[in-house]
Amino acid sequence: MNEREPPPFGDAPSLVPPVAPPDPRILPGEKQREAKAEPRSRPRSAREADASFFTSRKYVLLVAGLVVFAGGAYKSVFGPTSAERSTAVRADLAAKHGNDASTATSTAPLSPVAPVVVDAGNGAGGNPFGWLWSAATGTMTNGMAPSELMRRKLVAGPMLSDIGFTLGELVAGFDTYMHPSFEPMDADRFILRISGTDPLSKATYEYAFRFVATDGPEDFPSRHVEFTGPAVIITDLALNGELLGENDAFTILLQLQQQARIMRR
């Protein structure tokens, strides 16, 4: 009698709506949440490649190249000019010969002036090479005209390279108190001496160039050369009787080349 009888129409409907099971397409799973929480990274092989690059020889060479490039750029902007370097070389050489290094900046100045004429009796037209063809000295270059020799290009270096100016321009590159004189050695070789006393420092300087006249590359059939046509080869350069090394000689020739370019303007 006390038991509850079931309703005739079943249980009353619940007022709470049924909850559907979670849709994996809407709610991310555990692996999807981990992927979103973790930032996207490059593959492991790429990271290993980066690490190996920083410890490789290529990285060391790259850093060394950047350092050399930066040093060269700094020197080109803030370092001494070629004229200043040449002055320093002359100052060092002047100190070896007992001259005052403080006045060495005025040694053998190279400036665009007319060449000094050496009158030797046979120098028709005022050419300083005239006396080389006098009867006293004999022939030097098989009767070559002096004017032709003055127009010849200068060649120097192990590869006999054209250095960009002529023998006449070399003579004209020195200041007026520097006087040239020529000493023939044989049919093809001669020495050019350019000497003078600096009126400011009263120091005396002498440049001596040894040359070989050549008709062209055909004179060197078994050697690779970098010039064409007739030329005059610079074989040695001395200052005040002391033979200069390659670097010092190159510095002086470089300044003479710059003076030749100035004279052409």
pLDDT digits (tens, 9 = 90+) for 157-214: 888 889 999 998 998 888 888 988 888 887 788 888 999 999 999 999 999 999 999 9
* pLDDT at position 128: 42
**Does residue 129 carry a pLDDT above 60?**
no
User: Helices (DSSP H) in the chain: which residue ranges?
Assistant: 30-37, 44-54, 57-78, 82-96, 146-150, 167-172, 246-264
How many CB atoms within 10 Å of residue 210? 17
* pLDDT at position 174: 87
| N-to-C CA span, the chain | 135
- Over range 124-132, report the average pLDDT: 41
pLDDT digits (tens, 9 = 90+) for 5-50: 665 555 555 555 565 666 656 555 555 555 555 555 555 566 666 6
- Token pair, residue 35, equals 């992927």
- Say how many CA atoms lie within 13 Å of 27 toward its Cβ: 5
- Over range 108-136, report the average pLDDT: 38
- DSSP string for residues in 31-98: HHHHHHHSPP---HHHHHHHHHHHTSHHHHHHHHHHHHHHHHHHHHHHS--HHHHHHHHHHHHHHHTT
Distance of CA 101 to the CA centre of its chain: 27
The domain ranges of the chain are: 30-78, 107-264
* pLDDT at position 131: 39
- Say how many CA atoms lie within 13 Å of 189 toward its Cβ: 7
